[in-house]
C-alpha cells in the first residue's frame, strides 16, 4: 500500500508529460514546425556540447602526441638528444608519480643506507649511522634535512614537506627537455580552455532552462526536463574531456613502459637464479619484484646471499620509483607512506642532535 502511494506522484508526472508531448508535437496532431520550435534549441545545444567535447579531446590528444617544447628547459646535451639515454631513479620517479614519488624514493634510499629509521607506526627519525663513508645524494640531503628538523614525524607528513623542496622538483628538468611531460604553458592553456568552455556552456544551458520554464505550463514538461539535464551535462562533460591531470606525453608513456619492462626483466632474471629450484612467481608483472622485496625484509643473516650482488641499490630504488611504497622493503616506512600504520605512539628515541648527520646538515640546509 505504501509503495503504491509513493509511486502515484511519479506515475501522474509521467502521464502529464506524455499528454503534453502528444498535444504539442508528440503525436499526429503536432506539426514538424511545433516540434522544431519546441526542441530545436535543445538539439542545437546538445550538438554544441558534443562539438566542444570533441574539440577539447582533440586538443588534448595533440598536446600529448605532438608536445611542444617547454621554453624553460631548452638546454641541450647527450641525455636530451639521445633516444637511448637512460633515466636515473629520481627522474623515473618523477615521470611515474611526480614530486611525491621522488620524495618516497629519497626516503627509501636514506632508510636503506641507515641515515633514517622508522618506527612500526611509520614515524621517521634519524638513524644511528656514525660514519660518513657514503653521503646522501643531492636529493637525499634536503629530504634528510626535513627529517632532522624536528622530532619523529609521520612518513606522510615528511613526504608532504619534501614534495615542495626545490631539489625534488628540479629532477623534472630532463623530463621536460626530452618532452616526456606536457609543457607547463600547454597545460595552463588547455586547463583555461576547459574551464572557459564549462563556464560558457553552463551559462547557455541556464538560459535554455529559463526559456523552457517560461514557455512551459508544467515544470515537469519534457522541454523543461531536457533543459535541466542539459544544464547538468554542461557542468560535467567538459571536465571529462580527458581523464586525470595533464602529465605524461605519449613519449613519456612509452618511456615509462620501457622502464617498467626493464625492471621486471631484471627481477625475473634475479628470481631465476636465487630461487632456481622453486616454481616461478606467475604471470603477474610485478610478482618477482614483490618476492625480492619480501626477501629484503628479512634480517641480513637470513636473506639469500645472491641478493646482495644480483639486486643492487639502483635496482631497488628504480623499483620504488616505478611502484611507490609497495617497492619499499622497510616495513615501517612502507606502512607510514601507505597510511596503514598502527596508531601513532610516542617514540622516546633521541633525535641525535650531535650525530654526524646534524654536523653535516647546516642550518641553511635544513
Q: What is the pLDDT, as a whole number, of residue 9? A: 58
- Average pLDDT, stretch 89-110? 93
pLDDT band at 338 (very low <50, low <70, confident <90, very high): confident
Q: CA-CA distance, 292 to 308, in Å (whole number)?
A: 11
CA dihedral sign, ordered 282, 284, 288, 293: negative
What is the percent of the chain where pLDDT is above 70?
74
Task: Give the HSE-up count for residue 329: Cα atoms under 13 Å, Cβ half-sphere.
Answer: 24
Is residue 97 in some structural domain? no
Q: Is residue 249 part of a domain?
A: no
Q: Is residue 299 part of a domain?
A: no
DSSP 304: -
pLDDT at 163: 94
Please, which pLDDT band fits residue 17 given cuts at 50, 70 and 90?
A: low
Looking at residue 91, its pLDDT comes to 93
pLDDT grade, residue 162 (50/70/90)?
very high
> Could you tell me the maximum CA-CA distance found in the chain, to the nearest angstrom?
93
- Inter-CA distances, 308 with 149, 247, 296, 312, Å: 33, 36, 9, 7
The count of other CB atoms within 10 Å of the CB of residue 135 is: 13
Contact (Cβ atoms closer than 8 angstroms) between residue 129 and residue 115: yes
Mean pLDDT computed over every residue of the chain: 78
Any domain includes 203: yes
pTM of this prediction? 0.73
Residue 118 counted as domain residue:
no
* pLDDT score for 68: 79
CA angle 163, 242, 59 (to 5 degrees): 105
Q: Judge contact between 281 and 215, C-beta under 8 A.
A: no
343: left (phi over 0), alpha (psi -120 to 50) or beta: beta
Q: Would 160 be classed as within a structural domain?
A: no
pLDDT in tens, 142-155: 999 998 888 888 88
Confidence tier at 317 by pLDDT (50, 70, 90): very high
Of 8 and 107, more confident = 107
| pLDDT tens sequence across 221-273 | 787 888 888 888 888 888 777 766 668 888 889 999 999 999 999 999 999 88
CA 17 to chain centre: 45
Task: Tell whether 49 is covered by a domain.
Answer: yes
User: What pLDDT is recorded for position 45?
Assistant: 84
The pLDDT tens digits for 33-66 are: 566 566 777 788 888 888 888 888 888 888 888 8
Domain of residue 207 covers 2-66+183-240
pLDDT tens digits, one per residue of 61-97: 888 888 877 767 666 555 666 666 788 999 999 999 9
Which residues contact residue 144 at a Cβ distance below 8 angstroms, ignoring those fewer than 6 apart? 110, 115, 116, 136, 357, 361
Tell me 277's DSSP state: T
Per the rule left: phi > 0, alpha: psi between -120 and 50, beta: everything else, 30 is beta
Number of domains, the chain: 1
Query: Is residue 366 predicted with pLDDT exceeding 60?
Result: no
Please spell the DSSP secondary structure of 105-171, one letter per residue: HHHHHHHHHTSEEE-TTSEEEE------SS---TTHHHHHHHHHTSS-EEHHHHHHHHHT-HHHHGG
pLDDT of residue 37: 62
pLDDT over threshold 70, residue 25: no
What pLDDT shows up at residue 3? 46
Average the pLDDT over 301-320 and give the result.
88
pLDDT of residue 89: 93
Which ranges constitute the DSSP H helices of 275-330? 287-297, 307-310, 313-323
Angle, CA of 329, 163 and 96, to the nearest 5° = 60
Unique residue bearing C-alpha cell 624553460: 72
pLDDT bucket at 284, cuts 50 / 70 / 90:
confident
Q: Quick one: which of 277, 220, 316, 312 has its CA closest to 12?
A: 220
Round to whole Å and give the CA distance between 165 and 177.
20
Residue 86 in any domain: the answer is: no
Reported in sequence order, the residue ranges of the chain that DSSP labels E, i.e. its strands, are: 116-118, 123-126, 153-154
What's the CA angle centered on 25, arms 20 and 28, to 5 degrees?
110
Amino acid at each position: 500500500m505504501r509503495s503504491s502511494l509513493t509511486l502515484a506522484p511519479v506515475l501522474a508526472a509521467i502521464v502529464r508529460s506524455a499528454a503534453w508531448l502528444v498535444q504539442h508535437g508528440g503525436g499526429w496532431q503536432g506539426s514538424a514546425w511545433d516540434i522544431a520550435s519546441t526542441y530545436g534549441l535543445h538539439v542545437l545545444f546538445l550538438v554544441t556540447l558534443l562539438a566542444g567535447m570533441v574539440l577539447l579531446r582533440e586538443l588534448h590528444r595533440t598536446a600529448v602526441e605532438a608536445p611542444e617544447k617547454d621554453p624553460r628547459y631548452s638546454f641541450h646535451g647527450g641525455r636530451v638528444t639521445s633516444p637511448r639515454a637512460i633515466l636515473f631513479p629520481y627522474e623515473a620517479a618523477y615521470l611515474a608519480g611526480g614530486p611525491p614519488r621522488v620524495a618516497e624514493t629519497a626516503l627509501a634510499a636514506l632508510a636503506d643506507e641507515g641515515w633514517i629509521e622508522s618506527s612500526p607506526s611509520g614515524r621517521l627519525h634519524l638513524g644511528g649511522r656514525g660514519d660518513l663513508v657514503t653521503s646522501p645524494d643531492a636529493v637525499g640531503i634536503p629530504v634528510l634535512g626535513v627529517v632532522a628538523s624536528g622530532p619523529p614525524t609521520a612518513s606522510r607528513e615528511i613526504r608532504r614537506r619534501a614534495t615542495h623542496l626545490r631539489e625534488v622538483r628540479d629532477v623534472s628538468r630532463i623530463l621536460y627537455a626530452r618532452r616526456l611531460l606536457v609543457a607547463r604553458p600547454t597545460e595552463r592553456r588547455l586547463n583555461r580552455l576547459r574551464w572557459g568552455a564549462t563556464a560558457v556552456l553552463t551559462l547557455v544551458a541556464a538560459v535554455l532552462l529559463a526559456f523552457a520554464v517560461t514557455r512551459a505550463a508544467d515544470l515537469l514538461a519534457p522541454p523543461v526536463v531536457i533543459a535541466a539535464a542539459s544544464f547538468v551535462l554542461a557542468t560535467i562533460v567538459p571536465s571529462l574531456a580527458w581523464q586525470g591531470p595533464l602529465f605524461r606525453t605519449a613519449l613519456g608513456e612509452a618511456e615509462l613502459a620501457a622502464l617498467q619492462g626493464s625492471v621486471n626483466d631484471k627481477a625475473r632474471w634475479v628470481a631465476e637464479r636465487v630461487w632456481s629450484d622453486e616454481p616461478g612467481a606467475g604471470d603477474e608483472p610485478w610478482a618477482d619484484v614483490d618476492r625480492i622485496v619480501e626477501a629484503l625484509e628479512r634480517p641480513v643473516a637470513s636473506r639469500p646471499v645472491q641478493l646482495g650482488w644480483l639486486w643492487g641499490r639502483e635496482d631497488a630504488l628504480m623499483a620504488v620509483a616505478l611502484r611507490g611504497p609497495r617497492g619499499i622493503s622497510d616495513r615501517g616506512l612502507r606502512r607510514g607512506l601507505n597510511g596503514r600504520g598502527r596508531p601513532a605512539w610516542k617514540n622516546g628515541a633521541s633525535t641525535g642532535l650531535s650525530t654526524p648527520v646534524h654536523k653535516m646538515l647546516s642550518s641553511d640546509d635544513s
